Amino acid sequence: MSQQYALQEAKGDAVCFVPGSPLFSVLMEPASFCYPRLTFLRSPYGQFGASAGSSQDLAPWPQRLVPQRWSRPVDESPPAAMSRNGYFFEESGYLKCDTDDAKEEGAGEELFDGVNSTIVSGDSIRFFVNVNLEGTPSATAESEGAGCVLLHTSRKYLKLKNFEEEVRAQRDLDGFLARASIILDETATSLDDVLREMLKHFAEDPENMEPSCNFEKIMNTLFTDSGTPREGNVHLLSDTIQGVTATVTGVQYQQSWLCIICTIKSLQRRHVCISRLERPQNWGENSCEVRFVILVLAPPKMKSTKTATEVGRTFATMFSDITFRQKLLETKTEEEFKEALVHQRHLLTVANQRPSGKSDGHKSHGNKPLKLHDFLNIGKGISDDIARRFPVYALDFTDGIIGNNKAIGKYITTMIFLYFACLLPSIAFGSLNDENTRGAIDVRKTIFGQCIGGLLYALFSGQPLVVLLTTAPLALYINVIRGICDDYNLDFSAFYAWIGLWNSFFLVIYSLFNFSLLMKLFKRSTEEIIALFISITFVLDAIKGIIKVFKKYYHHGHTGDSYSGKTRADAIPGLGINTTFLMNSSVSENQTCPHDGHYGRETAVLSLMLMLGTLWLGHTLYQFKKSPYLHARVREILSDCALPISVLTFSVVGSYIFKEIEMSKFNYNASDSLFVLAPVQSLSIGSVMSAMGLGFLLSMLFFIEQNIVASLTNAPENRLVKGTAYHWDLLLVALINTGLSVFGLPWIHAAFPHSPMHVRALAYVEERVESGHIYETIVSVKETRLTSLMANFLVGLSLLLLPFPLQWIPKPVLFGLFLYIALTSIDGNQLFERVALLLKEQTAYPPTHYIRRVPQRKIHYFTGLQVLQLLILCGFGMSPLPYMKMIFPLIMIGMIPIRYNLLPRIIEAKYLDAMDAEY
C-alpha cells in the first residue's frame, strides 16, 4: 500500500522515499535532492538510517515522518526505483580520495555528487528489517524476528593507484581497451537491471566469451543474499569501491560512480565493463546520483597485482576525478570514451612523476650529488658525527633501564644471544687461524682481541648496535699472508703488524676526507649482493669443515693399516687427537669386522648429525615466535635465545651423551703470552713497502664491510632515531686495529649478519597482513650500549673457561652455527626473495613494491644480472689461488660502475630505482 503525506518546508538529513510497501532509507544532505521525499529519523522497530545532527524523538510512528523540502513539482515522479526489497548500500572497501565534489560548480549532473554521512565505523553488525506500512505496529513487531539477519560489514581504505610507478595501472587499462566493454546511455533504472545488461553484454561479446560461465550465477554472487535462507534475503552488494573524502562532519561520498568487484571461480580471465547511465539513479545510502557503474570480474587464483581489487583500484582512481567524469558524460561514442580514458591515464602518469632519486630512500647519507668540496673539507664528517651522537650518549646507558619503558628482560636475552654470537665465531675463526698460521694466532688471542676491541667500540662508537668480529674474509687474508711469509721467508708477526698498520693508516685517511660519503653510490641491490656473498662464505666454511671430517674419519677407513699409521695432524693440522682412536672404536663395536673395516665412521656420522641438529634446533626456535604455542613473551625469549640453546644442547649431546665417540676439538696452547709486541723493525724497506700494497687492499675490504654493515644496521625499516656516525666509527675501527696489529691479535670490523641480528633482537616487532601475505615490521628499537658492553665483557671472562668447558664444544656444532647464521641472514634479503620467485607460481607472489612497480620480466632480468655479479664475486673471493682472494674488494667496488653504467642499458632506470628502493 502506497501512502502520500502532505509536504511542507522542513529540514533533515536522513530521508526516506516511500514508493510502496517496502520502506527505503537513504542518507542525504538537506536540499541536495530535488524530488519529494520524507524525513525518517527513528522507529520503534529499529533504526533504519543515520541522521547527521537530528536525534530527537518525534511523534509516535508513523506520524514521525516529516517532509523534506523539494524543488520540483509534487506530481513529478522520481528518476529511479529501488532494487527489490530495497537495500542499504554498504561498502566493503573505500577508495580514499581528496576530491571534494560538493565544492565543484557548473558540473552538470555532478552537482549532487557529494553527500555527507556519519557512518565511519570500521567493523559493524547491522540489522535489516522490511517494514509493511499496512500492518499495525504491534503486528510488525511480532513478525520482525522472522526476517532479521546479521550482516558483517568491513571497511578499509585503499591507496590511490600511482600510474607512474605501478606498472599494472597501465596494463589494466591497456587490457580493457583491447577488449573494451562499454555501455553508453543505459536506460535501465534498477541496479539489478543495469548489472544484468552488463553481464548480457559480456555474454554477447565474442572477445569476452566465457563458455563455462553461468552469468545468472554471477548475478547472484554480486549480492549478499547469494546462498542465504529465504527469510534472510537482504539484497545488498557484497564488495564495492567508492570514493570518499574525510570532512569535519563525517565522510563525504562520491555518489555519481560505483565500482563493483567480484571473484568468480569459473572465470578464465579478468573482465571489466563500464556502463554510463542515461539518467542519475537513486540506489540507496551513499549512492543517490549514480551515473557510472564499473563492474570488475576476476578468477580467484591471480597474481597479487592482478586481483579484482587491484583492477578495481585502477579504474576507481581514474573515476575519482570529477573533471574526468564530466568529460565522460560529454562523450558521444565508444571511441571518444576510450580517448578520454587514455587522456586521463596520461594526466595521472604526469601528475605522479617525481625524481627517481627519491626512491633510493634506504640511504642515510642523503641524496645530494657528491662534489669535490665534500671530500676536501677535512674532518667535517667526524665533527658532524660527534655533534649528532654526543647529546644522546648518556641515553645509550639509561634507555630501557630508567623510566617507564623498561626493557631489562629484552636486554638480558639480547646480551646472552650476543655473547654466544661473538664467542662462538671467535672460537671457530680462531681455530681456523690457528691451523693456517701454525699457532701464531690461536683461539686465546682471538677471544682476547674480540673482548678488547668489542669493549672499546661499545664505549666510544657512534652506532653501538654494530657488532665487531673477525670474519671469514679476514681469515682468508691471514691465510694468504702466512703463505707469502713462507714463500719469501718473512717474519709473520712483523709482516702481519705492518699490513695492519698500513690498513689503519689508509682508514684514517678515508675518515678524515669523508670517503664514507661514497657509500651512497652503493645501491641496495649492491649491498645485498655483498651480504649474500658473506652468507655463502659461512655456508662454504661449514661444508668444507664437514668434508674434512668425512675425509678423515669416513673415506680413509677403507685404507686400513696404511691410514692408521698416519697422524691425525696430517689430515687436519693442530687437532692433536689420539691416533689409535679409529681402530679402537671400530673394533670395539664389531670384533668380527676385518682389519680394513670402516674405521671411525661413527665419528663422521655423528659430526653430520651435530651440525644439522644445531641448524635445525636453532632455526626452529628462531621461528618459534610465529607459532601459536606458549605465551607470547615465552616465545620471544626462546626465539632470542635460539643460538645459545641449540649450541649448548648439541654440545652436551656430542661431548657427554656420545662421550665414547671422540670428536674433533680446537687446539689450546696455554704457554703463549697475549702481550707480545711484534718485531716491526726486523723487516726491510722493501718488505714494508710490499706490506703497504697489501694494507691498501685490506683497507678497501675494511672500508666496504664497515660502511655496508653500518648502512644495513641504520636502514630506515629498523626505525633507529639517534642518528648515524659513519666517519667517526671508521676512525675508531682504524685505531682499534692499530693496537691489535702491534700485539699480533686478529683484526676485527663490522660483522654481517650479527649487526642486523643485534638490531632485530632489540626490536619490538608487529605482524601485519597485506593481500593475504603476512610480514613483520619493526615498530621501535631499544638503542643501547649495555648489551654489547656486557656481551664483550663476558667474552673476556670466557678466557677463564679455557681449555674446559669450552673445548667440550665440538667443531661440528660450530659448523652448524655457521649454517644458522647464514640461514637467518637471508631473512629480508630481496635478492634471495626474487630468486625464490622463479620457483613460485604468480598467485603466490607477495605484494611488494617492486612487484607492483616493475614488469615481471624486468624483475627476472635484474635478478639474473645480480646473480651473475654474485658468481663473479664468489669466483674471486673463494678462488683456490691465494692472490686472487686479495683483490676481491676491488671487485666489490667495480659493482658501482656496473650498476650506474651497464645495467641502465639493459633495464630502464625507473625500474632499477624501483627495485633498489625500500618502499
pLDDT digits (tens, 9 = 90+) for 279-319: 998 888 788 889 999 999 888 888 777 888 888 888 999 89
- Residue 704 pairs with which residues in a beta bridge? none
pLDDT at 912: 87
Q: Is the peptide bond before 753 cis (omega within 30 degrees of 0)?
A: yes
Rounded Cα–Cα distance for residues 530 and 892 (Å): 7
pLDDT at 753: 85
pLDDT at 125: 37
- End-to-end CA gap in the chain: 59
Instruction: Read off the pLDDT of each residue in 395-408 and give the average, rounded to a whole number.
Output: 87
Three-state secondary-structure class, residue 177: helix
Instruction: Read off the pLDDT of each residue in 340-352 and give the average, rounded to a whole number.
Output: 82
Q: For 587, what's the count of Cα atoms within 13 Å in the CB-facing half-sphere?
A: 10
CA distances (Å), 526 to each of 10, 15, 109, in order? 69, 62, 55
Q: Is the pTM of this model over 0.85?
A: no
| Residue-averaged pLDDT of the chain | 76
CA 372-373-376 angle, to 5 degrees, is 95
Whether 901 contacts 912, CB under 8 Å:
no
Whether 175 contacts 315, CB under 8 Å:
no
Q: Examine the pLDDT at 176 and tell me if it is beyond 60.
A: yes
Q: Examine the pLDDT at 53 and tell me if it is beyond 80.
A: no
Quick one: what percent of the chain has pLDDT higher than 90? 22
C-beta neighbour count of 794 within 10 angstroms: 17
Q: Examine the pLDDT at 574 and tell me if it is beyond 60.
A: no
Instruction: Read off the pLDDT of each residue in 476-505 and give the average, rounded to a whole number.
Output: 91
Position 659 confidence tier, pLDDT thresholds 50, 70, 90: confident
pLDDT at 207: 74
pLDDT at 266: 81
Rounded Cα–Cα distance for residues 730 and 514 (Å): 10
pLDDT digits (tens, 9 = 90+) for 873-884: 888 877 777 677
Higher-confidence position of 175 and 720? 720
pLDDT at 145: 52
Q: Where do we find the cell 664505549?
A: 459
C-beta neighbour count of 803 within 10 angstroms: 15
CA distances (Å), 754 to each of 465, 626, 760, in order? 10, 21, 10
Rounded Cα–Cα distance for residues 420 and 646 (Å): 11
Q: Examine the pLDDT at 345 and tell me if it is beyond 90.
A: no
Position 828 confidence tier, pLDDT thresholds 50, 70, 90: confident
Amino acid at 226: S
pLDDT at 469: 93
C-beta neighbour count of 248 within 10 angstroms: 5
DSSP state of 187: -
pLDDT digits (tens, 9 = 90+) for 403-419: 788 889 889 999 999 99
Q: Could you give the residue ranges of the DSSP H alpha helices within 556-629? A: 561-564, 568-571, 581-589, 601-622
pLDDT at 90: 37
Q: Examine the pLDDT at 731 and tell me if it is beyond 90.
A: yes
Three-state secondary-structure class, residue 390: helix
Q: What is the DSSP string of 641-703?
A: THHHHHHHHHHHIIIIITTTS--------TTS-S-----GGGS-HHHHHHHHHHHHHHHHHHH
Q: Where are any strands of DSSP class E within 59-132? A: 65-67, 93-96, 114-117, 123-127
Which cell is 152 given? 558483517
Rounded Cα–Cα distance for residues 460 and 785 (Å): 9
Instruction: Read off the pLDDT of each residue in 834-840 and give the average, rounded to a whole number.
Output: 86
Q: For 94, what's the count of Cα atoms within 13 Å in the CB-facing half-sphere?
A: 25
Higher-confidence position of 729 and 770? 729
- Name every residue whose Cβ is closer than 8 Å to that of residue 755 and which is 6 or more positions away in sequence: 465, 466, 467, 709, 710, 712, 713
pLDDT at 672: 66
CA distances (Å), 469 to each of 448, 453, 755, in order? 12, 9, 10
Of 305, 152, 262, 155, the C-alpha closest to 772 is 305
Position 497 confidence tier, pLDDT thresholds 50, 70, 90: very high
Position 743 confidence tier, pLDDT thresholds 50, 70, 90: very high
DSSP state of 901: I
Instruction: Read off the pLDDT of each residue in 57-61 and give the average, rounded to a whole number.
Output: 37
Rounded Cα–Cα distance for residues 857 and 849 (Å): 15
DSSP state of 907: S
Of 521, 396, 451, 496, the C-alpha closest to 784 is 396
Q: Is the peptide bond before 62 cis (omega within 30 degrees of 0)?
A: yes
Instruction: Read off the pLDDT of each residue in 636-659 and give the average, rounded to a whole number.
Output: 89
pLDDT at 556: 63
Higher-confidence position of 158 and 466? 466
- Rounded (10°) angle between helices 167-178 and 334-351: 170
Whether 610 contacts 661, CB under 8 Å:
no
Choose the most confident range, by mean pLDDT, from 10-24, 195-209, 421-435.
421-435
pLDDT at 91: 43
Q: Examine the pLDDT at 109 and tell me if it is beyond 70.
A: no
pLDDT at 12: 38
Of 488, 528, 589, 24, the C-alpha closest to 281 is 24
Helices and strands per DSSP (H, E), number in the chain: 33, 19
